[in-house]
Amino acid sequence: MKKAVCIMMVLALLAVLAACQINVSGISAYAFDTRNFNMATGDVSPTSAIDEIVIDWVSGNVNIMTGTQDAITVHESGVGESAKVPLYYKVSNTTMTIAFAKNGTDCNKLSKTLTVTIPQSRLLKGLTINTVSSTVYVEQAVTEEVDVETVSGRVECSLDSIQKVKVETVSASVKLRATYAKELNVETASGALNLTLPSFEELEIESVSGNVNLALSKDASFTMTASTVSGNVNTGDFACTMSGKRYICGTAGNKSTIEVETTSGNIVLKTA
């Protein structure tokens, strides 16, 4: 399984780095198909209904937040040369795609902040964010599902009730809180994971060397399968009985499940 995790991380790294290719002259060129995209000349606010947003970003920050306005708004900012490189976007049916720049742009030393504001009355069905080194912030109730892939950018999410969360990272730390999560999957090579989940149904975590810290409700009832090669498992204040690698915590017949696999990272449970 550990070999599979390492292979997965390499593939994820290559997939994300594909957004910023290195050509023979050593110049970093942004590689994303922006044909039929529009160049942003300022803030962007699509007039049609949007159910899904896909973001491909290289470096800087990606902020997803709620607002009181009536429509989705997209704003970017940068300093120096970064301020001269506009994002590109496309709206197809109910999906909006946002690209860091035009395909082929020299993205070496560029860093921009992208802020997408979602109306409080409008819940997206899906949010996908692919980055190389951007720090990603997702807050409150903005989407039913969120999928984040990054190499080294930190990921921080503070969510309300959400159906599905997936985070894949190589070396970035992940800090996530959700009042309720039906399905949550986190995969990392060396990034530290700090997850606060007062209520959840399915939680899957795979890590090579990153520590896994889970903060759960003090009366949480769950079954956890924990596997580590050289790390330690600490169930904290939770009274758990063991059966092989399975920890049964709380009442019998509980529906919440946790699967955690690490190589050298520690697994620690604590109360939220």
Closest CA to 132 of 24, 27, 38, 31: 31
Q: Are strands 256-262 and 200-207 parallel, antiparallel or unpaired?
A: parallel
**Predicted local confidence at residue 21, as pLDDT:** 53
**Predicted local confidence at residue 42, as pLDDT:** 95
Residues 126 and 235 in one domain: no
Q: Is residue 152 part of a domain?
A: no
Helix H or strand E encompassing 190: none
**Predicted local confidence at residue 252, as pLDDT:** 62
**Predicted local confidence at residue 191, as pLDDT:** 85
Residue ending a domain, choose from 78, 108, 143: 143
Q: Is residue 1 part of a domain?
A: yes
Spell out where 125-229 has E strands.
Answer: 126-131, 135-139, 145-150, 155-169, 174-188, 193-197, 200-207, 212-216, 222-228
Residues 165 and 230 in one domain: yes
Residues 9 and 104 in one domain: yes
**Predicted local confidence at residue 15, as pLDDT:** 46
In the chain, which stretches have pLDDT less than 70?
1-27, 252-253
Identify whether the C-beta of residue 177 lies closer than 8 Å to the C-beta of residue 165.
no
Residues 106 and 81 in one domain: yes
* C-alpha distances in Å from residue 30, one per residue of 104, 136, 139, 204: 5, 19, 28, 33
Residues 38 and 87 in one domain: yes
Phi and psi torsions of 187, nearest 5°: -130, 130
pLDDT tens profile 81-100: 999 999 999 999 999 999 99
Its pTM stands at 0.90
Residues 218 and 106 in one domain: no
Residue ending a domain, choose from 121, 143, 165: 143
Question: Bridge-partner residues for 137, per DSSP?
Answer: 63, 156
Segments forming the whole domain that contains residue 171: 157-272
Q: Is residue 150 part of a domain?
A: no
Residues 118 and 208 in one domain: no
pLDDT tens profile 236-272: 988 889 888 889 998 766 789 999 999 998 999 999 8
**Predicted local confidence at residue 28, as pLDDT:** 79
Considering its fold, how many domains does the chain have in total?
2
DSSP state of 250: S
pLDDT tens profile 113-124: 999 999 988 889
Q: Is residue 66 part of a domain?
A: yes
